[in-house]
Amino acid sequence: MIASMYETSHLQVVLDTLEEGVCLFDSAGKVQAINRAALDLLGYRAAELLGQNATDAFADNVLGHLLQRALTGGEFFRDQCNQFQCKDRPAITGSYSLTPLAGNGKPGGAVLRFREASPAPVCDLALRNSETKLGIILDTIADGVIAIDENGIIQLFNPAAETLFGYGRKEVSGLNVNILMPDPDHDLHDSYIASYLRTGVKQIIGIGREVTGKRKDGSLFPMHLSIGEALLGDERFFVAIIHDLTSRKRAEEQLHTLSRAVEQSPSAVLIANLHGMIEYVNPSFSHLTGYGSSEVIGRSPALLRSSHTSQEQYQRLKETLLNEGEWREEIQDRKQSGEQYWALETISPVRNSAGKVTHFLSIQQDITEQKQDKEALQASEQRFREVAEMTGEWLWEQDPEGCYIYCSGAVSQILGYRPEEILGTAYLNLLTEEDRKRWTTELPATHDVRESFRRVVNRYRHKDGHEVFTESTGKPFLAEDGRLIKWRGVDHDITARKKYEEERHELEIAKQIQSSLLPKTPLRIEGLQVVGICQPATHVGGDYYDYFNSKDVLNIVIADVSGHSVGAALLMAGVRNTLKAEARRSNPMMPGQDAAEVLHSLNELLFDDLNGSDLFISMFYMRYNPRLRQLCYANAGHNCPLWLPVNEDKCLELDAEGMVIGIRKDVIFEEKCISFQRGDKILLYTDGITEAQNRAGEFFGVARLGDLLVKHRLESPETTLDNMLAALRGFCGSQSFNDDVSLVVLNID
Residue among 621, 632, 576, 630 at smallest CA distance from 599: 621
Strand partners, 76: none
Contact 24, 34 (CB under 8 A): yes
- The helix (run of H) or strand (run of E) holding residue 553 is strand 553-561
Residue 46: phi, psi to the nearest 5?
A: -55, -40
Alpha carbon 205 to chain centroid, angstroms: 56
CA angle 485, 460, 504 (to 5 degrees): 125
- pLDDT score at 129: 57
Three-state SS for 273? Answer: strand
Contact 571, 661 (CB under 8 A): no
Contact 430, 449 (CB under 8 A): no
| Phi/psi-derived region of residue 455, left when phi > 0, alpha when psi is between -120 and 50, beta in every other case | left
- pLDDT score at 165: 94
- pLDDT score at 409: 86
d(CA 532, CA 547) in angstroms, rounded, equals 9
Contact residues for 199 (Cβ-Cβ < 8 A; gap 6+): none
d(CA 489, CA 411) in angstroms, rounded, equals 13
Strand partners, 470: 458, 493
Mean pLDDT by 10 residues, the chain (749 residues): 50 79 89 90 90 86 85 82 86 87 69 79 52 63 86 89 91 91 87 83 78 93 86 79 88 84 89 91 92 92 87 87 88 91 91 90 89 75 68 86 90 92 92 87 66 90 92 89 89 86 70 76 88 76 82 88 69 80 67 77 85 81 88 94 94 93 89 92 93 92 94 94 93 84 92
Three-state SS for 682? Answer: strand
Strands ordered across the beta sheet of 357-366: 278-281, 268-273, 357-366, 340-351, 327-334
Q: Which amino acid is at 66?
A: L
Peptide bond into 107 cis (omega under 30): no
Q: In 274-387, which ranges are E strands? A: 278-281, 327-334, 340-351, 357-366
- pLDDT score at 105: 55
- In Å, what is the CA distance from 735 to each residue of 204, 484, 615, 702, 731? 87, 54, 29, 21, 10
What is the DSSP annotation of 278-290? EEEE-HHHHHHH-
DSSP-H helix ranges across 119-180 = 122-140, 159-165, 169-172
Alpha carbon 173 to chain centroid, angstroms: 56
Instruction: Show the domains of the chain with their CATH numbers.
Output: 2-138 (3.30.450.20), 141-249 (3.30.450.20), 265-366 (3.30.450.20), 379-493 (3.30.450.20), 506-748 (3.60.40.10)
- pLDDT score at 655: 92
d(CA 353, CA 569) in angstroms, rounded, equals 90
- pLDDT score at 563: 63
Dihedral sign for Cα atoms in the order 732, 733, 737, 738: negative
- In Å, what is the CA distance from 192 to each residue of 145, 211, 221, 224, 493? 20, 15, 22, 18, 90
End-to-end CA distance of the chain: 126
511-545 b/e with 16+ CB inside 10 Å = b? beebeebbbeeebeeeebbbbbbbbbbebbbbbbb
Three-state SS for 393? Answer: coil
Contact 499, 507 (CB under 8 A): no
- In Å, what is the CA distance from 462 to each residue of 409, 492, 495? 15, 14, 11
| Phi/psi-derived region of residue 395, left when phi > 0, alpha when psi is between -120 and 50, beta in every other case | beta
d(CA 684, CA 702) in angstroms, rounded, equals 12
Contact 113, 20 (CB under 8 A): yes
For residue 412, the number of C-alpha atoms closer than 13 Å in the C-beta half-sphere is: 9
